[in-house]
Structure 1
Amino acid sequence: MDDRSARTRGIALTEKQRIAWLRLIRSDNVGPVTFRELINHFGSAETALDMLPELSRRGGASRSIRVASKAEAERELEIAERHGATFIGIGEPDYPPLLRQIDGAPPLLAAKGNRKVTSAPAVGIVGARNASISGMKFAGLVARDIGRAGYSIVSGLARGIDTAAHRASLETGTIAAMAGGLDKPYPPENIGLLNELTDGEGLAVSEMPFGWEPRARDFPRRNRLIAGMALGLVVVEAAVRSGSLITARNAADFGRLVFAVPGSPLDLRCEGTNGLLKDGATITTTPEDVLEGLRPLAEPDLFSPRPDVREPAEDTPSALRLPPSDGDRERIAGALSQVPAEIDEIIRHTGIDAATVYLVLLELDLAGRLQRHAGGGVSIMPD
């Protein structure tokens, strides 16, 4: 599983670019997808920042968009440095290679700990917070054996199964994806575990700003990071309505293998995992089940970027063009509804060239009038 070549791919951001990227992703209405489209269209984060007010105005914003200042970005970089953390850009060598391939990958990840752990192929392990003793033991067994086989273990630093998985892989390499800022671990009782992790062979990552207290809606965002970083996901004890099943859905959407540990039909903590098995997940009763399933995938060339994935490319010739006409803008907006539509459908329906459609969608997005959905669909926000 020698994937050292994966770490040599990518180009480091300059300090100026890192500040501009951080400003852009911290500005109002700019999420990962919007960030990527802005840089693909305008060629650099600095040009995109200059265009944000005009784009949001053209999209019908009711108020001026807040653009993060250079001072704010520099302050966040200073805070990260005080905490022993750095920001990794999506095109840089230490960015988790599989994560960069998913739709909506964070353009920047705050990271603290051993960044070399991202060079190993990863396996996610998630499950119930109120896990049983046997569930905790099995999660630890799987994490330990898979770690010794050369994989890093990814989880969410939560109570229960996550904690068992991280603890069992402290020596072999583990990654904690966090819902809040790196300085706001949840639950607080795992602060000690987080410190052990980042002081040793582990890494903590977050796309949220320092000081950000995790909210309920931040955990599904965190879950997609776990699924995105991993070749496969092992689910141990998960109720029907649980974050672990959200992570499993993300993993399936990303084309990852999903492994589920069967449990008693009488235990509600196993209802979700048993359901995954009915839906086609790989039954898992030993670590070897996971290793055998992943063996054909864990090759060095796995980490080559997919040809259809566009990464933000700085310092390319600008794609600036004349603004869309009012007629084009009205036709594109009129084609949208509150039902998600694929962008290719909008292009075919309106007969307008793709570049113009993408630019109008950016305008609506920055004006707070567009909603983006998993899989690339878009819909108009209700008035």
Structure 2
Amino acid sequence: MPRLPPDPHSSGSCSSAAARRFHRDWLVISLAPGIGPRTALRLHEHFGSPAAVLSASRSDLGDLGLKPPALDWLKHPDRAAIDSVLSWAERPGAHLLGLDDPRYPPLLREIADPPPLLYVRGDIGLLSEPQIAVVGSRNPSPGGREITAELVRELARCGLVVTSGLAFGIDGVAHEAALETGQSIAVLGTGPDLVYPSAHVDLACRIVERGALVTELPPGRGPQARNFPRRNRLISGLSLGVLVTEAALKSGSLITARSALEQGREVFAVPGPIGSPLSRGCHALIRDGARLVETAADILSELAPQLRGALDSDASPDASGEGLEPAGLEGDERLLWEALGFDQLAPDELIARTGLPAEQVLSMLLLMELNGHVSSLPGGRYCRASG
């Protein structure tokens, strides 16, 4: 199975003795037989730190339900296995994030079973940025590929990081489209040094350069069927919401959508032809309450309350705070700003003034409202925001 080359532009995360000790403690806990994410979280909450867990007596650990194999490991772990992972973390571009690391993604920490340790390649800061998960069929229709790419490009252009699972089909389309206009995160069902499917080695390398690869599995762990449903909860757990573009009734995409609902995330689904098996999963989600999506604006409007605090404004008002063009407006956004002038206009009027497609105008208006550049008014009209 292909292995990812080191990133020559970055340094590893275990550069100090203190960091090695911190990561070693988390490794001992996360690799212990019979200790899954929920048990690791319970141990951490009970004792307060990974070091305190390892210092606890066998009887105290046993009182919390740990079995003899786990107790034996915690007291006498495989040092060679631990050192092997620490050596991986010292390679360029490799990072370990324990559950109490301040860089651990806050949304993921909120789920019921957050991984005690994350293995990351690429930009670790991106894990805490606003994300939209995009999942779907591994054998999508041409139309499914087209609508996925179209939606993802617009969402990425609006500042959302696009997260998916690096699988064939919709996952790959989503990553590719996101990298055209923004950034992407791939959540792996293998160790961080391996790529599955192997045909996506080049894509994985480009994601490391423009985003991040993340997994809860240690280096050297190959693809196993049981790990992919576990992987799906991380895709949804990292994200504000999950978009399903094409899915059969029984598919991994619906597992991800169910995880999203359990985690309190938004679920979005694109409807399709009634006769297509790949429409049935999305239609079932819509019947169960998922938001029907036709344009990127449908997603952005639903996520607006969460995005409003996450997306920074580039406005530079003058002393009066009125009427100056915000810094950073370029291209079509500047065209839209100029077309708005000092009027109060409906989207249809802006579409006529600019000649831009309706979907693009609606998306830009929402993004500019989130950034504080325009204000929405009663009756669906818009005006320039005042200081």
Question: Which TM-score applies when normalising by structure 1?
Answer: 0.71
User: Partners in 2 of 1:287 and 1:24 — Cα distance?
Assistant: 42
> What RMSD in Å do the two structures reach over aligned CA positions?
2.1
- The 5-angstrom pairing of residues 327-366 of structure 1 reads none
* 18, 21, 35: which one aligns with 2:23: 18
Which AA in structure 1 matches 2:208? Answer: T
Give the direction of change, closer, same or farther, for the CA distance of 1:269–1:212 in structure 2 (3 Å limit): same
Instruction: Quote the residue 2:198 is aligned against.
Output: 188
The C-alpha deviation readout for 1:91-149, integer Å capped at 9, x for no partner, is 33432221111111112110001223224210000000001111111111111111111
Q: Structure 1 CA distance, aligned partners of 2:225 and 2:215?
A: 15
- Kindly tell me: are residues 296 and 190 of structure 1, through their superposed partners in 2, closer, same or farther at Cα, counting changes over 3 Å? same
User: Aligned-pair distance for 1:51?
Assistant: 3.9
Choose from 169, 194, 207 the match for 1:197.
207
- 1:96–1:118: 8 Å Cα contact kept in structure 2? yes
What are the Cα deviations for residues 260-307 of structure 1, in whole angstroms up to 9, with x where unaligned?
0001121111111111011111111111111111112214379xxxxx
Work out whether 1:260 is the aligned partner of 2:269: yes
For residues 207-286 of structure 1, the aligned pairs below 5 Å read 207-286=216-295
CA contact (8 A) 2:20 2:86 kept: no
In structure 1, the residue corresponding to 2:285 is in which secondary structure?
Answer: helix
With over 3 angstroms needed to count, the CA separation of the structure-2 counterparts of 1:71 and 1:161, relative to structure 1, is: same
- SS of equivalent to 1:39: helix
Separation in 2, partners of 1:52, 1:300:
45
> Deviation at 1:25?
0.9
SS in 2 for 1:296: helix
1:62 and 1:202, CA in 2 relative to 1: closer, same or farther beyond 3 A? Answer: closer
Residue 39 of structure 2: aligned partner = 34
Rate the CA distance shift 1:52–1:284 in 2: closer, same or farther, 3 A.
farther
Confirm whether residue 157 of structure 1 aligns to residue 162 of structure 2.
no
Matched, 1:46 2:55: no
Q: Which residue of 2 aligns with 1:351?
A: none
Please say if 1:114 is aligned against 2:119. Answer: no
Match of 1:332 in 2: none
CA distance in 1, matches of 2:282, 2:168: 18
Equivalent AA in structure 2 for residue 20 of structure 1 = D
Q: Distance in 2 between matches of 1:45 and 1:70?
A: 17
| Mapping 1:51-90, distance limit 5 Å | 51=56, 53-54=58-59, 59=65, 61=67, 65-67=72-74, 68-82=77-91, 84-90=93-99
Shift of 1:248: 0.3
CA contact (8 A) 1:181 1:213 kept: yes
Gaps of 5+ in 1: 1-12, 303-383
1: CA distance, partners of 2:24 / 2:68: 28
Query: Deviations 1:43-88 (Å, cap 9, x if unpaired)?
Result: 3323322447545766584666433344432220212333631101
**Structure-2 change in CA distance of 1:211 and 1:176 (3 Å):** same
Structure 1 residues 118 and 62: CA distance shift in structure 2, 3 A = closer
Partner of 1:178: 188
Instruction: Please give the TM-score of this superposition, normalised by the length of structure 2.
Output: 0.70
Kept in 1, the 8 Å contact 2:249–2:281? The answer is yes
Label 1:112 to 1:124 Cα distance change in 2 as closer, same or farther (>3 A).
same
Counterparts in 2 of 1:52 and 1:254: CA distance versus 1, 3 Å: farther
After superposition, the Cα gap between the structure-2 partners of 1:44 and 1:90, relative to the gap in structure 1 and judged at 3 Å, is closer
Please give the alpha-carbon distance, in whole angstroms, between the structure 2 residues aligned to 1:252 and 1:193.
Answer: 29
- How big is each residue's C-alpha offset from its partner over 1:240-266, in whole Å with a ceiling of 9 and x where there is no partner? 110000000010111111000001121
Name which of structure 1's ranges 90-99 and 31-40 shifts more when overlaid on structure 2: 90-99
Q: Secondary structure at 2:234's aligned position in 1?
A: helix
Q: CA separation in 1, counterparts of 2:226 and 2:57? A: 26
Given that 1:233 and 1:248 are in contact with CA atoms closer than 8 Å, whether structure 2 keeps it comes out as yes
Secondary structure of 2:73's aligned partner: coil
- Match among 101, 107, 121 for residue 92 of structure 1: 101
Deviates more, 1:146-155 or 1:166-175: 166-175
Structure 1 residues 19 and 299 mapped into 2: Cα distance closer, same or farther (>3 Å)?
farther
* CA distance in structure 2 between the aligned counterparts of 1:103 and 1:301, rounded to whole angstroms: 24
In the alignment, what sits opposite 1:311?
none
Distance 2:25 2:68 in 1: 25
The 1:269–1:252 alpha-carbon spacing in structure 2 relative to 1, beyond 3 Å, is same
Matched residue type, 1:24:
I
Give the secondary-structure state (helix, strand or coil) at the position aligned to 1:110: strand
Corresponding position of 2:110: 101
Q: Which moved more, 1:70-79 or 1:58-67?
A: 58-67
The change in CA–CA distance for 1:18 and 1:258 in structure 2 (over 3 A counts) is same
Q: How many residues align?
A: 289
Task: Please tell me whether the aligned partners of residues 41 and 114 of structure 2 are also in contact (alpha carbons under 8 angstroms).
Answer: no
Paired with 2:188 and 2:45, the residues of 1 have a C-alpha distance of 28
| Partner Cα distance (2:49, 2:216) in 1 | 20
Unaligned runs of 5+ in 2: 1-17, 312-387
- Which structure would you say has the larger RCO, counting Cα contacts within 8 Å and 6 or more residues apart? 1
